[in-house]
Amino acid sequence: MKGSQLVAIIKRLEAMQDADSSEIQTRRFEKNGEERGLVTFDPKTETFELEELADHQTFQFDNIDLVAMEIFDLLDDGTDVQDEQ
């Protein structure tokens, strides 16, 4: 059975929060080798910022669930999430 894509997204976001660093953490989310979104986490403000790369819209979130759902919508065909750093 294939794991949940939403769980994989949340685990990556949690890893950003858990990093032992005061520096901004960045993750790229892609579908079929095409970058769809860029997420940054600022530990000072404890906020996520999602840039949708197709139209360069930027959204800020203070809730991990909301940013995860937004990323899930970007990757809506069920393909695996890949980490490019």
In tens, the pLDDT along 27-73 reads: 999 999 999 999 999 999 999 999 999 999 999 999 999 999 999 99
First vs last Cα of the chain: how many Å apart? 28
pTM over 0.75: yes
Q: What is the pLDDT of residue 45?
A: 95
Contact 4, 17 (CB under 8 A): no
Instruction: Tell me the β-bridge partners of 22.
Output: none
Cα angle at 6 between 1 and 69, to 5 degrees?
155
